[in-house]
Structure 1
């Protein structure tokens, strides 16, 4: 099969018939992450800030399973229980990124699983192979770049 399911011991287990993420070629689709503790399965935090941090940690754990990081996110969809929390959410969410930020949609919904305040799903592009190729081409792969002393070539 061309699609691989991605699971992480450091992220919450799926609470239904779905994979935390699936990878097809360079494309990775992360299911919506909610603020669950990976060990207990219990909701973490009561504020939007606490819950957003946990969601972003859970996303990071799934990404790390593939050697990826938040910088590989290209699009997120945010589901919030109350858009009045948008500014507080944005403060925490933004701390996990540098420019260029991923594209994003954000909507208010009536209810989320386990009655949490926020859920975030993601589209990711695995660019690690291309990043390695570009790094090798930028200097020809000289020994100075490999040992950190600087490009000699």
Structure 2
């Protein structure tokens, strides 16, 4: 379990205010950064369906697995003061294209106003930890 702490310090007329925000995201399983902000664009590394609190990998239920991938992306977005509607591009990697419809059914509800980002859906032979789905993205504050 990885806990990310963000500290914001404000100086106003000699008064210092600080706030701490704690968010939980899955621990990276390889040498990569989960999200990188460059010039206002957030690049999100692929998220597999790992539950942050237990590091459990969800398998056997593609809708639940897709939902967990999206929740993991959501935590990274919130850490950077963004939301799902700020996603401009999403890549979905799946090990079985027969899961395409179920993945779409689990994915769509995360976009409350139905402003979907551009997207690619790609079948792959294998994913890290033998996950069945992985989702990456790019976000820009709109």
**For this structure pair, what is the TM-score category when the shorter chain's length is used for normalisation?**
0.7 to 0.9
Measure, in 2, the Cα distance between the counterparts of 1:110 and 1:101. Answer: 27
CA contact (8 A) 2:108 2:114 kept: no
1:104 to 109, 119, 129: 119
- Structure 1 counterpart of 2:11: none
Q: Which has the larger radius of gyration?
A: 1
Matches within 5 A, 1:29-48: 29-48=43-62
Asked if 1:118 corresponds to 2:133, the answer is yes
Measure, in 1, the Cα distance between the counterparts of 2:118 and 2:65. Answer: 21
| Structure with a larger share of its residues in strand | 2
Task: Could you list the structure 1 runs, at least 4 aligned residues long, displaced by more than 4 angstroms after superposition.
Answer: none
Which consecutive unaligned segments of at least 5 residues does structure 1 have? 1-6, 128-153
- Structure 2 counterpart of 1:140: none
Asked if 1:77 corresponds to 2:85, the answer is no
Measure, in 2, the Cα distance between the counterparts of 1:53 and 1:114. Answer: 17
Which consecutive unaligned segments of at least 5 residues does structure 2 have? 5-21
Measure, in 1, the Cα distance between the counterparts of 2:106 and 2:55. Answer: 22
After superposition, the C-alpha distances for 1:2-46 in whole angstroms (9 at most, x for unaligned) are xxxxx5742101111100000011111000000001122220242
Please report the TM-score for the alignment, with normalisation by the length of structure 1: 0.75
